[in-house]
Structure 1
Amino acid sequence: MHIKILFLLIPFFFQPISVTKAEVPLKAAFVRDHQLWMKDGDCEIQLTKNKYVHSPQWSYDGRFIAYIDGDQQGEKSNLWIYDTKKKENYEPYHSIATSSFTWSPMANELAYVSGWVLNVTKTKDGRPYGFENVSLGVSGFEWYPNGKEFIVSAASNRLPTGWEPIKLYRIPKDMNLNETKAKRLYSIPIDENDLFAVTVGDFKWSYDGKWASFLGTPTPSWAMDSNPLCVVSSDGKVFKDIGRMLGFSDWYKWAPKANQLAYISGEGRFLVENKIMKMADLEVSVKQAAYTPKGYVDLDLEWMTPSKVIVARSQENKAWKQGPVPTMFTSLYEIDIGSGTQKQITHPKENELDADPQAVGSTLTWVRRQDKTDKGDVWIKNDKQKQARIWIKEVDSTPVLFKK
């Protein structure tokens, strides 16, 4: 009898146990009342006082947050870093004036352009400190995915014969102003009647590092209405002119697991019409698919999964012709790229709008604002939750989520 009971119990003890993996708490750097704050899960911490903060960026491992300490007049633009381990703010070098900086994807090194000179920080006691010159004549740049090189652009000049080509280079981070180390990647021919830009920048790499997308900037008045979106292969052998759009860097993003580039196309500085979400598949052809229904405009986007894109959508307002520019009251919609099906996923109240969607894993965040106000509340929803909730109140601008 005892033996029979033993055999009956054995299968019970060896039943497989299902373990649910806990979600990693979401972490964000954000600006409230011009000061830098951090949100880690549900814990909120103020990181600066008596500054005028904007443009925070996380380092690759989340230890550091680089940001600009400016002023209301826009005359000051100094680079600072917050160290989350030592809980202190510091300058990597005294009074670095810049508006263009980015972290290495592989190390706690910070590259920035100051006065057309590309520099990269040294390391002291495990922190970015000091700097070394990399290259002169740089207008735009981004790290290569290997963290050892940069793709950089040199602005076009107006010559008696017309605009000269914009040149792209591949340079090592230890170039040290040695011009012989720079390799010409591609020369972009400029034509005022076709592809017109004076500078290019806002480089973004595809998921596998084969392609870099970037946005061209023409002369100031022209740039308010139309900017060329282009891609170049990492070896410089292939260049493609994707389309025309406004100069918003958040309006074009690579798919997480395919060489597909989604972007908001359409010329014209006013957002009331002609803003269409398109997707270019670089592995198939230059042919593009449009997803915005007739009578609507899409004014932001984010990849939620390899097959789903979130857009901020509003009805067109073609009736407006003059006077104050009307507010476009956007809601978030989910587009299934494969099937083409679409559905509304947020429902702001009257005189509210939802914008700035961001995804980390299965979690979606966005900013909900009232009409005529700059501040907004950050909402959050996980696919396991039925209801969205407010995560951060009264932010000055879109928070920057930490993505490992």
Structure 2
Amino acid sequence: MASAETTLTAAFIRDHQLWIKKGEEEIQITKNRYVYSPKWSYDGRFIAYIDGDEQGKKSELFIYDTKKKESYRPYIRLETSDFKWSPIKNQLAYTDQGLLNVTKMKNGRPHGFKNVSLGVMGFEWFPNGREFIVSSQSSLRPIGWGPIPLYKIPVHANMQKDKMQPFYTIQTNEKDLFAIYADYFKWSHDGKWLSFLAIPTASWSMDSNTLCIISNQGEKFQAVGKMLGYVDWMKWAPSVNQLAYISGEGRFFVENKKTAIADMPTSFQQKKYTPKGFVDLGLEWLSRDKVIVARAIENKEWEKGPVPIMLTALYSVNIRTNDQKQISFPKNNEMDNEPQVIGSFLTWFRKNENNYHGDVWVKNGLSGQEHKWLKKVDYAPIFFKPSRKLSDFSQQ
């Protein structure tokens, strides 16, 4: 294994337990738990994760301190399913039954909490780490569902109504943009644009959600297209304001899943890159001009019975020249998906269609030699990526 690979650091789940790999060393963090959703703090000292159970009845928030090598609860008992680290410091925000809270600090570690706002369905930090973008659920009235309100709320709002600043109101209707709340917020590389999903009622959202974008001042809003509710199916380019997403309605992966690129601010200028007869089921930006997709042959013949497993391989797509070529070659009954680019490295998750576990493969660029980096993991790892500096968003 090349020495350059030792620069990668990842948190991963193996047999429901939390592990860390740094360079060549693997360290098991938990035992006899049911861990999921690990997330790195902005500087990599802490990993927040959920300690749950197989039935989904429990979702307790824990934090692992890599410096002191111990896991702890930031509060005596804290149940949540939505938590996010600040982009500028080791502060954790989370929702608990619609209440948005942020952690306080004790002895240099996030501990305890203070209230921010009620009525929160979805949220994300602003890149400057000083405010949140927050969505509330629309109201159900005799004539149908009302609009979706978005708010800009300072971290230290402390439930004070006069600090809850209206940001934008999404006007909805059942024909073009039906939704009852917004979530899965993602900022563009320069913090000038925010993408998110407008999500309808539960059964409807299984088949279609509306991808939207809004400017960081709430002045420009636009619906971009329809897609499924997979947060990794929409990603901003690393250095320009282009949004890649997998478009298409219908909950089954057998057809109608196409990679599209929308240019900001005029997202009507869109181009789809998936060839006829194929579906894309994963994507990642490799560079300004290249996108990596997980692609399979579509299956329009399927109508009933077990849903077909789509055997994907990775392809490189040059969005400037439209040159496309296969770059990974899984064996029969294997699939490559969940591509991630970490610095110069391309990683992906390879599994057999009959196995629960899979392996993580890595190669340096498109021309590097691929090799197995992690064996027998539950799903793709969460790599530590240093946060951008606050000064990068000084123009906000």
TM-score (norm. length: structure 2): 0.95
| CA RMSD, Structure 1 to Structure 2 (Å) | 1.3
In structure 2, the residue matched to 1:249 is 231
In structure 2, the residue matched to 1:351 is 333
Cα offsets for 1:292-334 (capped at 9, x unmatched): 0000000010011121110000011111111001110000001
Match of 1:58 among 40, 64, 67: 40
* C-alpha distance in 1 between matches for 2:272 and 2:287: 18
In structure 2, the residue matched to 1:317 is 299
Instruction: Please give the secondary structure, in 1, of the residue aligned with 2:204.
Output: helix
In structure 1, the residue matched to 2:220 is 238
Cα offsets for 1:85-106 (capped at 9, x unmatched): 0000000001111000000000
**Structure 1 residue runs without a partner (length 5+):** 1-20
Instruction: Please give the secondary structure, in 2, of the residue aligned with 1:221.
Output: helix
Per the alignment, do residues 22 and 39 of structure 1 end up closer, same or farther by CA in structure 2, a change over 3 Å counting?
A: closer
Contact 2:224 2:267 in 1 (8 A): no
In structure 2, the residue matched to 1:42 is 24
* C-alpha distance in 1 between matches for 2:317 and 2:227: 20
Instruction: Please give the secondary structure, in 1, of the residue aligned with 2:18.
Output: strand
Contact 2:18 2:28 in 1 (8 A): yes
* C-alpha distance in 2 between matches for 1:323 and 1:22: 47
Amino acid aligned to 1:40: K
* C-alpha distance in 1 between matches for 2:27 and 2:238: 31
Amino acid aligned to 2:186: K
Amino acid aligned to 2:224: I
Deviation at 1:374, TM superposition (A): 2.1
* C-alpha distance in 1 between matches for 2:195 and 2:207: 20
Amino acid aligned to 1:36: L
Q: Percent of aligned pairs with the same residue?
A: 59
Match of 1:362 among 334, 340, 344: 344
Deviation at 1:68, TM superposition (A): 0.3
In structure 1, the residue matched to 2:154 is 172
Amino acid aligned to 1:90: Y
* C-alpha distance in 2 between matches for 1:285 and 1:189: 19
Aligned ranges 1:186-201 → 2 under 5 Å:
186-201=168-183
* C-alpha distance in 1 between matches for 2:4 and 2:201: 50
Cα offsets for 1:11-47 (capped at 9, x unmatched): xxxxxxxxxx967610110101110000101110000
Per the alignment, do residues 23 and 325 of structure 1 end up closer, same or farther by CA in structure 2, a change over 3 Å counting?
A: closer
Amino acid aligned to 1:163: W
Structure 1 runs, 4 residues or longer, greater than 3 Å off = 21-24
Instruction: Please give the secondary structure, in 2, of the residue aligned with 1:222.
Output: helix
Cα offsets for 1:41-66 (capped at 9, x unmatched): 11100001121100000001000000
* C-alpha distance in 1 between matches for 2:75 and 2:258: 43
* C-alpha distance in 1 between matches for 2:207 and 2:66: 41
Cα offsets for 1:124-146 (capped at 9, x unmatched): 11110000000010100000000
TM-score (norm. length: structure 1): 0.93
Which protein has the larger Cα radius of gyration, Structure 1 or Structure 2? 1
In structure 1, the residue matched to 2:13 is 31
Aligned ranges 1:3-402 → 2 under 5 Å:
25-383=7-365, 386-402=368-384
Instruction: Please give the secondary structure, in 1, of the residue aligned with 2:162.
Output: helix
Cα offsets for 1:357-404 (capped at 9, x unmatched): 000111011000001222110001112864211100111122101111
* C-alpha distance in 1 between matches for 2:250 and 2:267: 27
